[in-house]
Amino acid sequence: MNKKKAWKIAGFSVLAIVLFYVFFAIVGYYQFISNVRP
């Protein structure tokens, strides 16, 4: 396995983790807002 391919795989895994956390942050934020609103 060459270095470029390894970097690409690492970059995609990091991107997937970041998107995963952003998605959960947005979902939690909207649930928080809907719970706070009377």
Q: pTM value?
A: 0.59
Q: Where are the domains of the chain?
A: 1-38
Residues 36 and 38: their CA atoms lie apart, in Å, by 6
The torsion angle over the Cα atoms of residues 5, 9, 12 and 16, rounded to 10 degrees, is 170
pLDDT exceeds 80 at position 37: no
DSSP H/E element including 14: helix 3-36
For the stretch 1-36, pLDDT in tens is 688 999 999 999 999 999 999 999 999 999 999 988
Q: What six digits make up the tokens of 35?
A: 């719970």
Q: Rounded distance, CA 20 to CA 22, Å?
A: 6
What the block records as the tokens of 18 is: 């970041």
